[in-house]
């Protein structure tokens, strides 16, 4: 049996990770949807690192030049005008053979930037140029550019169809990720860019960066890897999503067999499905994917359209996603604790998937999958709920649904870094707007490009996070309108409210007398308390407050809830009217013992002729089916004056519910003096003397003094000590002192 | 509430009127009032004090608040609320207590969630009094008493 995993402790920090330092501005607007604005294209001549011979050819130079040419930038007029540059550009993309890499072709050649070089290639490439173009699908949901999406994007044209599926059209510029796609489809996008003048174009995060760095990275892989795309280490595979635009209209069998007929390698489509008009499936390695790519436009359908096949690197299909196992979760916890800075309460999960610790153990934590995100959130909830700063950048997050519970799990979170993910719409922010963020990073997400200008970006973000102070590393200007703090503090709750001392004495005396009769075996004595025309009704809770245990059954048949009871006859019947009926009704209720010391009284209204007060308290049932049940009540008394100091009840409304655990605990702390219908039993002379003395010394009335003495076996000294102690603890109710 | 006018005016000959009628009317007034009160409290808080008499008193968990101005301040300061009334009981108040001014005792119980606080059970009672104007009867709160069931916690 293996030893239990080491207990992961998030304190003290094992690694002092600083929160992301404030980023410097690379360009006029904020953040960036990719790496820093690439350096300006090199002058005609060598780009950095471009050289003949093998080794590391940094393609940045020549390729950038091509792209510049493609874009028609004035700063770098294409030597041959557009056509051949495009061809070259197309050729760069277009690959034959197994490895979809560009380098081998470039390798050993003179730098393409020279005129001759370009020309030299153009002939060879010409034939393939069409092929290069063939990737370009003119269709934008309708022929031509008529389907431009405006959507506040200004000069941006709508996405070309060929780039619709292209999730990684932006260069992440992150750590070398072995899962780089072999290529991108957006090369031809540049073509339309040429229409848009570089000037006047809103590019908040700079122009789209090149793909070049991808290529150099791939170069680093051992050749075997590149060509076969075989699993590098246990379990990790290279998945690709294959898309056939408008594939839905084809018969699946025809489609797949037609493709297979032309494909140089056998392939197994995984999770074939349709998405809108597209047909899609997954294949497991790069060579298969590139082979499929070669088939694009080789098949002509009945309507004479060429069947286009687009490939993209992808996460493994949903059906094959594995949940993390327990041991993996423990290792993940260790990994996360290393990435946690206790002094800042900051957790850095940037690019978590490629964390060396996880990779070395073949633990695949893909944060854009719900199961993985949930595990991470749970670890946070259980270990560091006090988290204040969370970095989730570079995790290919395309939606924030899985973060919706973050607000509960890490309520104190103030800093959130979502930069360099794949969030496409500001609406994703709605899913986490419960967070009271002070600092947010969103740069590097497609959503940043959907704003007309900086201020609409800011205000849109602020809508969700009104308290935000910093966005993408910038201090935010103060909001235009001050938002008034909505109050959340309740006034403190206090005990009884009598209004005046006189009223207090009056009411307490009344209650004392009333309940001593009420708690006796016969409530007939209450007749004197009620007015001839008095009425009385009873109510109990409706709904979940009334649990099945400790039922209020005895009260149910008489309870009157006008909200639920609509029948006027019943409404009338349940209201007891006249003194006799009232007392008869009260006599039928279970025998009780009230804890007068628990009473809280609110005097609601007082006039010359009316006194209205509410009594809240606890009682115990001393007989019947619910014997010993402890109940809580709220009773409304409306009384008219009677005699000099008396009250006469005209309205009586009793609400009974079960006592809560807390109320149970506090109730009957000091035993209520046992009421007895008979007068005080005769005391021996000695006892009477003791009683008188005790009453005078303690200040309590005779009844309570006697009780205290009795309970202490008429030991004067002890009774005195007990009294003093209880008085100190505030446990002696005021009624004890009423004479 | 305006529809109550004629009925209440007739009943000024109180001794002749059936007790049952009083009960009916009290129930209807209470029902309608409770709907309006809690809706106003939740959704139109600023209008709430209009439901109170000028000299009305509110005892809120032992805090006494009296008069329109104090009530206004109090309700403004109170966080926004979500009330749910589960139990409603009411009685016509005996005329001897009210000097023949028609009054209804209204008792409610339910739950309330104030913004920033957890949901709690409450008990509340009102004395509603009918104020006759030239063409109608308007009910106003003469007293209001509110307490959380767990106020001591």
Q: Give yes or no for residue A100 having a pLDDT over 70.
A: no
Chain A from 622 to 651: CB within 8 A of any B CB: 632, 634, 636, 638-640, 650-651
Distance between start and end Cα atoms, chain B? 38
For A213-240, what is each residue's pLDDT tens digit?
433 333 334 444 343 433 333 344 678 9
Residue A615 β-bridge partners: A601, A635
Is the CB of A662 inside 8 Å of chain B's CB atoms? yes
**B149/A657 CB distance under 8 A:** yes
What token pair was written down for B14?
């109180």
Q: How far is B68 from chain A (nearest CA, A)?
A: 16
Tell me the residue length of chain A.
739
Q: Give A59's pLDDT tier (boundaries 50, 70, 90).
A: very low
How many Å apart are CA A631 and CA A593, to the nearest integer?
A: 10
A603 beta partners: A613
Mean pLDDT along residues A479-497? 78
Residue A499: its pLDDT value, please?
Answer: 92
CA distance B136 to chain A (A): 24
Residues from chain B that touch A492, judged by Cβ atoms under 8 A, are: 61, 63
CA distance B105 to B91: 5
Whether the pLDDT of residue A309 is over 90: the answer is yes
DSSP notation for A280-308: EEEES-HHHHHHHHHHTTTEE-TTSPEEP
What ipTM was predicted for this assembly? Answer: 0.90
Chain B residue with minimum CA distance to A605: B143
pLDDT band at A405 (very low <50, low <70, confident <90, very high): confident
Burial A311-323 (b: 16+ CB within 10 A, else e): bbbbbbbeeeeee
Residue A655: CB atoms within 10 A of its CB come to 25
The answer to whether the CB atoms of B61 and A572 lie below 8 A apart is: no
- Best of B28, B59, B71, B101 to substitute, by most chain A Cβ atoms within 10 angstroms, is B59
Percent of chain A with pLDDT over 70: 63
Whole-number Å distance between alpha carbons of A139 and A276: 15
**Chain A residue with minimal CA distance to B59?**
A604
Helices and strands counted in chain B (H then E): 4, 6
| Cβ-nearest to A640 among B61, B96, B150 | B96
Q: What is the pLDDT of residues A359-372, one digit of tens each?
A: 998 888 889 888 88
Token pair of B112 as six digits: 């309330």
Q: Which residues of A touch B90 (CB under 8 A)?
A: 562
Structure-model confidence comparison of residues A645 and A563, the more confident one: A563
Q: Is residue A189 over pLDDT 60? A: no
- How far, in Å, CA of A17 to CA of A384, rounded? 16
Distance CA A635, CA A507 (A): 13
pLDDT at residue number A681 = 58
pLDDT tens for residues A412-462? 899 999 999 999 888 889 889 888 899 999 999 999 988 888 888 998 998
d(CA A13, CA A16): 6
Euclidean distance between CA atoms A641 and A582, whole angstroms: 19
% of chain B residues with pLDDT over 70? 89
Strand partners, A283: A240
Average pLDDT, chain A: 73
Q: What is the pTM of this model?
A: 0.44
d(CA A34, CA A208): 8
Chain A residues whose CB is inside 8 A of the B96 CB are 531, 533, 609, 640, 650
Residue B42 has pLDDT above 50, yes or no: yes
pLDDT, residue B96, reads 93
Residues 6+ apart with CB under 8 A from A318: A271
Closest CA to A640 of A735, A526, A534, A738: A534
The whole-number pLDDT of residue A703 equals 85
Q: Read off the DSSP letter of residue A544.
A: T
How far is residue A377 CA from its own chain's centroid? 10
Residue B145's DSSP bridge partners are B59, B125
Confidence bin at A90 (pLDDT 50/70/90): very low
CA dist list (Å): A608 to A319, A506, A514: 79, 14, 22
Q: Are A170 and A33 in contact (CB under 8 A)?
A: yes
User: For the residues A463-487, what does the mean pLDDT come to?
Assistant: 79
User: pLDDT tens across A582-628, in order?
Assistant: 999 999 999 999 988 779 999 999 999 999 999 999 999 998 888 88
CB < 8 Å to B116, chain A = 486-489
Burial A685-709 (b: 16+ CB within 10 A, else e): eeeeebbeebbeebebbebbbbbbb
Model confidence over A636-681: pLDDT tens digits?
999 999 987 789 999 999 999 998 888 887 776 554 445 544 445 5
What pLDDT does residue A664 have? 81
- Check CB contact under 8 Å for B147 and A657: no
Sign, Cα dihedral of B20, B21, B25, B26: negative
pLDDT in tens, A268-285: 888 888 888 999 998 888
Strands A439-441 and A470-471: parallel
pLDDT at A644: 77
Residues A163-179 as b or e (16 or more Cβ within 10 Å = b): bbbbbbbbbbebeebbb
Which residues on A lie below 8 Å from B27 (Cβ)?
562, 568, 571
Query: Which residues does chain B have within 8 Å of residue A657's beta carbon, measured at their own beta carbons?
Result: 109, 149
Q: Is A53 left (phi over 0), alpha (psi -120 to 50) or beta?
A: left
Distance CA A722, CA B5 (A): 62
Distance from CA of A212 to the nearest CA of B (A): 53
Chain A residues inside the 8 Å CB shell of B77: 487, 491
CB A658 within 8 A of CB A552: yes
Query: Is the backbone peptide bond immediately before A12 cis, with ω within 30 degrees of 0?
Result: yes
Residue A489 has pLDDT above 90, yes or no: no
| pLDDT more than 90, % of chain A | 32
Q: Which residues of A touch B30 (CB under 8 A)?
A: 562
**CB burial of residue B18 (10 Å; 0-12, 13-18, 19+):** exposed
> DSSP per residue over A473-511, as a string?
TEEPPPPSSPPPPPP-PPPPP-S-B-SSHHHHHHHHHHH
Q: List the single residue in A486, A541, A571 with the smallest CB-CB distance to B23.
A: A571
Contact criterion met (CB < 8 Å) for B61 and A491: yes
8-state DSSP, A142? S
Contacts of residue B22, defined as CB under 8 A and 6 or more positions apart, other chains included, come to: B11, B92
Distance from CA of A650 to the nearest CA of B (A): 6
Measure in Å the smallest separation between the Cα of A623 and chain B Cα atoms: 26
Number of H helices and E strands in chain A, helices first, is 24, 20
Candidates B109, B116, B151; nearest CB to A493: B151
Interval A135-144 mean pLDDT: 45
- The Cα of A636 is separated from the nearest Cα of chain B by a number of Å equal to 8
Q: Give mean pLDDT, residues B43-63.
A: 95
Q: Could you report the per-residue pLDDT of B91-121, keeping only the tens digit for each?
A: 999 999 999 899 999 999 999 999 988 899 9
CB contact under 8 A, A491 and B59: no
Length of chain B, in residues: 153
**Searching chain A, which residue's CA lies closest to the CA of residue B60?**
A493
A563–B88 C-beta distance less than 8 A: yes
Average the pLDDT over each of A356-370, A560-574, A680-694 and give the range with the smallest value: A680-694
Q: State the pLDDT at residue A624.
A: 82
Beta carbons of B63 and A497 less than 8 Å apart: yes
In this structure, the number of other CB atoms found within 10 A of the CB of residue A730 comes to 7
pLDDT top residue among B2 and A474: A474
pLDDT(A83) > 70: no
Q: Could you read off the pLDDT of A626-635 as tens digits, one per residue?
A: 888 889 999 9
Q: Shortest CB distance from A651 goes to which of B86, B94, B145? A: B94
């Amino acid at each position: 049996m293996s030893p239990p995993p080491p207990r992961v402790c998030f304190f003290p920090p094992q690694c002092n990770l600083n929160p992301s330092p404030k980023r410097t501005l690379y360009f006029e607007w904020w953040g960036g949807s990719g790496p820093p604005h690439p350096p300006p294209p090199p002058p005609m001549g060598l780009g950095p690192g471009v050289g003949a011979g093998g080794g590391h050819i940094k393609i940045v130079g020549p390729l950038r030049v091509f792209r510049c040419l493609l874009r028609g930038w004035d700063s770098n007029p294409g030597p041959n005008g557009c056509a051949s540059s495009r061809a070259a550009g197309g050729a760069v993309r277009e690959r034959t053979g197994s490895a979809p890499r560009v380098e081998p072709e470039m390798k050993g050649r003179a730098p393409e930037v020279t005129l001759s070089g370009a020309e030299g290639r153009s002939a060879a490439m010409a034939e393939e140029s069409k092929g290069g173009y063939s990737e370009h699908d003119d269709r934008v949901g309708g022929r031509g550019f008529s389907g431009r999406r405006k959507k506040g994007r200004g000069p941006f044209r709508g996405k070309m169809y060929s780039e619709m599926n292209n999730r990684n059209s932006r260069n992440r510029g992150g750590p070398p990720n072995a899962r780089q796609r072999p290529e991108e489809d957006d090369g031809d996008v540049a073509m339309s860019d040429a229409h848009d003048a570089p000037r006047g174009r809103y590019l908040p995060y700079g122009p789209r960066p090149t793909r070049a760095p991808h290529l150099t990275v791939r170069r680093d892989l051992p050749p075997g890897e590149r060509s076969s795309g075989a699993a590098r280490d246990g379990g990790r595979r290279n998945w690709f999503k294959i898309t056939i635009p408008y594939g839905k209209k084809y018969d699946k069998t025809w489609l797949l067999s037609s493709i297979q007929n032309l494909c140089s390698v056998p392939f197994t489509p995984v999770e074939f499905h349709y998405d809108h008009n597209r047909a899609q499936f997954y294949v497991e390695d790069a060579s298969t994917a590139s082979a499929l790519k070669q088939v694009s436009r080789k098949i002509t359908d009945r309507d004479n359209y060429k069947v286009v096949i687009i490939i993209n690197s992808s996460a493994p299909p949903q059906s094959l996603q594995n949940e993390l196992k327990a041991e993996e979760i423990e290792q993940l916890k260790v990994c996360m604790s290393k990435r946690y800075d206790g002094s800042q309460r900051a957790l850095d999960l940037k690019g978590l998937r490629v964390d060396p610790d996880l990779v070395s153990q073949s633990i695949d934590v893909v944060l854009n999958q719900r199961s993985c995100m949930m595990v991470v959130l749970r670890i946070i909830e259980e270990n560091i709920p006090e988290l204040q700063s969370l970095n989730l950048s570079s995790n290919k997050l395309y939606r924030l649904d899985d973060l919706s519970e973050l607000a509960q799990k890490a309520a104190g979170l103030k800093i959130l870094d979502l930069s360099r993910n794949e969030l496409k719409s500001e609406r994703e922010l709605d899913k986490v707007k419960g967070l009271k963020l002070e600092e947010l990073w969103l740069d590097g997400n497609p959503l940043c490009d959907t704003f007309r200008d900086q201020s609409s970006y800011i205000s849109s973000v602020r809508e969700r996070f009104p308290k935000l102070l910093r966005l993408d590393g910038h201090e935010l200007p103060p909001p235009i309108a001050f938002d008034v703090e909505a109050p959340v503090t309740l006034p403190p709750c206090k005990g009884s409210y009598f209004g005046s001392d006189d009223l207090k004495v009056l009411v307490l005396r009344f209650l004392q007398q009333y309940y001593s009769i009420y708690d006796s075996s016969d409530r007939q004595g209450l007749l004197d308390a009620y007015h001839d025309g008095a009425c009385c009704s009873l109510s109990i809770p409706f709904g979940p407050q009334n649990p099945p245990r400790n039922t209020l059954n005895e009260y149910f048949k008489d309870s009157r809830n006008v909200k639920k009871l609509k029948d006027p006859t019943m409404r009338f019947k349940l209201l007891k009217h006249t003194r006799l009926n009232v007392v008869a009704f009260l006599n039928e209720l279970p025998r009780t013992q009230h804890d007068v010391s628990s009473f809280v009284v609110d005097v609601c209204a007082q006039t010359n002729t009316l006194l209205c007060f509410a009594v809240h308290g606890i009682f115990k049932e001393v007989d019947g089916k619910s014997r010993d049940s402890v109940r809580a009540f709220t009773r409304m008394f409306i009384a008219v004056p009677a005699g000099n100091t008396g009250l006469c009840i005209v309205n009586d409304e009793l609400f009974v519910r079960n006592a809560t655990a807390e109320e149970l605990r506090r109730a009957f702390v000091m035993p209520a003096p046992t009421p007895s219908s008979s007068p005080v039993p005769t005391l021996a002379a000695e006892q009477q003397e003791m009683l008188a003395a005790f009453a005078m010394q303690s200040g309590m009335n005779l009844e309570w003094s006697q009780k205290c003495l009795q309970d202490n076996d008429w030991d004067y000294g002890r009774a005195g000590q007990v009294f003093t102690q209880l008085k100190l603890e505030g446990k002696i109710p005021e009624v004890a002192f009423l004479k | 509430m305006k529809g109550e006018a004629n009925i209440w005016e007739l009943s000024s000959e109180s001794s002749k009127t059936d007790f049952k009628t009083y009960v009916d009317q009290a129930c209807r007034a209470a029902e309608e009032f409770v709907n309006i009160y809690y809706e106003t409290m939740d959704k139109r808080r600023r209008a709430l004090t209009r439901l109170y008499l000028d000299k009305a008193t509110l005892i809120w968990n032992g805090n006494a608040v009296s008069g329109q101005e104090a009530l206004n301040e109090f309700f403004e300061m109170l966080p926004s609320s979500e009330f749910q009334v589960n139990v409603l009981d009411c009685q016509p108040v005996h005329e001897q207590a009210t000097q023949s001014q028609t009054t209804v005792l209204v008792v409610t119980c339910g739950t309330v969630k104030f913004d920033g606080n957890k949901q709690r059970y409450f008990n509340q009672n009102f004395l509603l009094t009918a104020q006759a104007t030239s063409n109608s009867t308007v009910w106003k709160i003469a007293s209001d008493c509110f307490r959380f069931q767990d106020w001591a916690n």
